[in-house]
């Protein structure tokens, strides 16, 4: 399966893909367009795209209202543990979700110990999105809670925000390899730096079950080549 990560997952749908929408917080955090225009740019220093959007969004209730179960996954960012029961109370039991525990742009993004409350057999997808700097102690914690779907990985935190693109490839590769060597029963979505079929094949050979793309959409020709190769590989 191919996943389209935020922010592009909010706007782009492709055949046989899942779009990850959000990330949504319990309450709205306005100013998305302004933050994109203000902070989203290519960094030659880091050789990747940098953003500091800071989880600007219209709120979880908006995400639920516009949710399409056939093609969407709702990404949820929890700012404090007191929000967990409130979110569970308004979230339908069969909604596919990704728990964004690794946003680099909001200091209040915490790694909670109560996330097992979101696990529900009615959900096809209940994903933990990991930081590229995550260690196995964190993965072990969520595995013991019952999570079996992990997304490797979020952007790399730097003082300017979060870096996406080719810089993530070594981090995702190591995380993917380490998790798969310990837990054979997990599903891993590998993402970060997939700009060509070579990176896709690298993740595939390391054991990835699924793949995610995002900033490749900023390069239409590169995207066209990749998606053609990807679908042909799946035939």
Confidence band, pLDDT 50/70/90 cuts, at residue 107: very low
Per the model's pLDDT, the better-predicted residue between 62 and 114 turns out to be 62
Confidence band, pLDDT 50/70/90 cuts, at residue 130: very high
Q: Which fold has domain 2-234?
A: TIM Barrel (3.20.20)
The 10s digit of each residue's pLDDT in 182-202 is: 999 999 999 999 999 999 999
Average pLDDT, the chain: 91
Which range has the worst mean pLDDT, 44-48, 100-104, 155-159, 216-220? 100-104
The 10s digit of each residue's pLDDT in 12-61 is: 999 999 999 999 999 999 887 777 777 788 888 888 888 887 788 999 99
Question: Which pLDDT belongs to residue 36?
Answer: 74
Confidence band, pLDDT 50/70/90 cuts, at residue 235: low
Structure tokens of 182?
């310990």
Question: Which pLDDT belongs to residue 48?
Answer: 87
Question: Which pLDDT belongs to residue 217?
Answer: 96
* Percent over 90 (pLDDT), the chain: 75
Greatest Cα pair distance in the chain: 46
Question: Which pLDDT belongs to residue 106?
Answer: 54
The 10s digit of each residue's pLDDT in 132-165 is: 999 999 999 999 999 999 999 999 988 888 899 8
Question: Which pLDDT belongs to residue 46?
Answer: 84
Question: Which pLDDT belongs to residue 150?
Answer: 98
């Amino acid at each position: 399966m191919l996943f389209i990560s935020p922010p592009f997952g909010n706007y782009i749908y492709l055949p046989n893909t899942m779009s990850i929408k959000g990330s949504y917080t319990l309450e709205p955090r306005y100013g998305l367009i302004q933050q994109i225009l203000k902070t989203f740019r290519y960094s030659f220093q880091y050789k990747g795209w940098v953003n500091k959007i800071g989880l600007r969004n219209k709120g979880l209730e908006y995400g639920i209202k516009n949710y399409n179960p056939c093609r969407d996954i709702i990404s949820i960012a929890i700012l404090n543990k007191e929000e967990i029961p409130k979110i569970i109370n308004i979230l339908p039991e069969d909604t596919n979700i990704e728990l964004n525990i690794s946003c680099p742009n909001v200091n209040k993004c915490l790694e909670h110990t109560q996330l097992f409350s979101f696990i529900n057999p009615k959900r096809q997808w209940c994903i933990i999105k990991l930081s590229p700097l995550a260690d196995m102690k964190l993965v072990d914690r969520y595995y013991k809670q019952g999570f079996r779907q992990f997304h490797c990985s979020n952007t790399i935190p730097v003082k300017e925000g979060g870096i996406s693109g080719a810089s993530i490839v070594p981090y995702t590769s190591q995380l993917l390899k380490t998790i798969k060597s310990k837990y054979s029963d997990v599903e891993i979505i590998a993402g970060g730096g997939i700009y060509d079929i070579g990176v896709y094949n690298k993740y595939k050979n390391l054991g990835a079950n699924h793949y995610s793309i995002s900033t490749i959409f900023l390069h239409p020709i590169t995207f066209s080549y990749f998606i053609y190769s990807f679908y042909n590989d799946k035939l």
